[in-house]
Amino acid sequence: MPASAAGRYRLAHGTLAGQWNGRDNGIGAIRLGLAVAVVVAHATSLGYGWEDLGQSLFRDQTNIGTLAVFGFFVISGLLITRSARRTSVGRFAWHRALRILPGLWVCLLVTAFVAAPAVALRERGTLDGFWDGPKGPVQYVVGNWFTGVRQYGIQDLLAGSPWGRAIGGSSVFDGALWSLVYESACYAAVAALAATAVLRRARWVVPATAAVLYAFILADQARGWTLTGPPAEHYAAIVAPLVGSVSVQWLIYLGALFLTGATIEMYRERVPIHDGLALACLATLAATLLLGGFFVAGFPALAYLLVWAAVRAPRRLRRVGAVNDYSYGIYIYGFVVQQLLSAFGLNRWGYAAYTALSLLFTAAVAAASWHLVERRALALKHWRVRRQSCSGAPVR
């Protein structure tokens, strides 16, 4: 091999493009870990009304659960963009709908017609009046079916739970669903980029858009004159059909992370996979979480670390999620399970026991969701409408 060719090979081999080998990566393990982190983080607030895990440690910038959500958006940006580049826009939309909606719909039904009646009987000893009124279970399902959460509670149940008291006596059954509307918005943005051929012919638009969103983030930090605490809210929410109120600020922050992942995918042949760079990003992430500046320097550090970890994951971890992916089920059911455990007093044995029970029951429900709903829905990924010709023969 000529020296120049050997140099190009070594350069390519040291990049994401050269080291990402199909499904042989740690993405499944990372997503599972992020979902578990959300459940563990919620154990403090849902079980005892304490602050979210890591909130004070991270100087009120974020917490373990929200940090995991940030990680989900980076990974989604990479994977979803890859999917959009390989399929037609229609097929892409069909795949995304199959992955998100069936599991969500069944979760809403289980919450409204299994979990909520159980809580009603526990709190009130009767189901009288449970089915009626504007805050009933039917309205809960109808209001939330298209990823946006327009009704968090059902009949004011759980208002006296640790979480309900902490937020001023509000009824919330599944607060984890809040991020799905932003995930769906990112899917729609990628579909638009694919439909306009940007992903194939003008890939520079992706990092340019990410840079614009990061500029808004930097402007937020500059206006606040502080590198700690939550970013100040400078943007009014918008109300969209089907999904209700959407925070423009969350669109910007989560969109920036999603597009960072998308940029990494679009320029995968130029993204180096280097242990020294990963160590520097780890130090940056830790420093910004503990000292301040997470949204300025911690965001890109987190993105690179996740991609590096996916490539460098031990071989055993690379098999996690390859066949059975429980991460989505853990995410959407964890909050409901933990609210139920609190409602029935299973938090009385202490934080460690409550967290363990939360993980155990959530894993069981997530497994059922995967095997009974999600996997069956995904089996329809390659389904096509068959038209009939004049002779009656199917036309593909």
The per-residue pLDDT string of the chain (396 residues; one tens digit each, 9 = 90 and over) reads 454 544 444 445 689 998 887 788 999 999 999 999 999 999 999 999 999 999 999 999 999 999 999 999 999 999 999 999 999 999 999 999 999 999 999 999 999 999 999 999 999 999 999 998 899 999 999 999 999 999 999 999 999 999 999 999 999 999 999 999 999 999 999 999 999 999 999 999 999 999 999 999 999 888 877 788 888 787 889 999 999 999 999 999 999 999 999 999 999 999 999 999 999 999 999 999 999 999 999 999 999 999 999 999 998 999 998 899 999 999 999 999 999 999 999 999 999 999 999 999 999 999 999 999 999 999 999 887 665 544 454 444
Which residues lie below 8 Å from residue 16, measured CB to CB, with a gap of 6+?
264, 268, 269, 271, 272, 273, 307, 311
Which residues lie below 8 Å from residue 80, measured CB to CB, with a gap of 6+?
96, 186, 187, 190, 258, 262
CB 61 within 8 A of CB 230: yes
Q: What is residue 229's three-state secondary structure?
A: coil
Please provide the DSSP assignment of 126-175 as one string: --TTTS-STTSHHHHHHHHTTSS-S---STTTTTTSHHHHHTTS---S-G
CA–CA separation, 196 and 204 (whole Å): 14
Backbone angles phi, psi at 239, to 5 degrees: -110, 120
Count Cβ neighbours within 10 Å for each residue of 210-220 and write b for 16 or more, e otherwise.
Answer: beebbebbeeb
CA angle 330, 331, 337 (to 5 degrees): 65
pLDDT value, residue 394: 46
DSSP 8-state assignment for residue 25: S
Place of tokens 């809040």: 178
Element (H, E) at 391: none
pLDDT value, residue 120: 97
Element (H, E) at 214: helix 205-224
DSSP 8-state assignment for residue 51: P
Give the number of C-alpha atoms closer than 13 A to the C-alpha of residue 42, restricted to the C-beta side: 31
Which residues lie below 8 Å from residue 259, measured CB to CB, with a gap of 6+?
77, 206, 207, 209, 210, 213
The ranges assigned to domains in the chain are 27-395
CA–CA separation, 116 and 147 (whole Å): 19
CA–CA separation, 53 and 44 (whole Å): 6
Computed on alpha carbons and rounded to an integer, the radius of gyration of the chain in Å comes to 22
Element (H, E) at 239: strand 238-240
Cα 233 to chain centroid distance, Å, stands at 22
Q: What is residue 293's three-state secondary structure?
A: coil
CA–CA separation, 373 and 82 (whole Å): 25
